[in-house]
Structure 1
């Protein structure tokens, strides 16, 4: 996903140099979406997950 963001930044720079204003707008929208997705991924990777393992039971010696 980071490669996509980096590619979009490069494409925006190229479009600005070439004067492709419509392309710049579309690429910037895509860049915002990519950055939002990266932020979501980052938040999820930092969340702690609690797993209920239940209570252990004592086994009798007579199994």
Structure 2
């Protein structure tokens, strides 16, 4: 996860964390007070990747 400062555009790497019950908490010491845009990337594990996404037909992965 990264945080981009609205003040000067600097990007701070906040870290990586596994989801637990669909959520993750990351703490960053020394992060200055201000407004940031957060960006995170999610990579599903192999089991959940076999399930259809919302709005996709349930038979998408069959034969």
Coarse TM-score class (shorter-chain normalised) = under 0.3
TM-score by length of 1: 0.26
Report the structure, 1 or 2, having the larger helix content: 1
Q: 1 or 2, which has the higher strand percentage?
A: 2
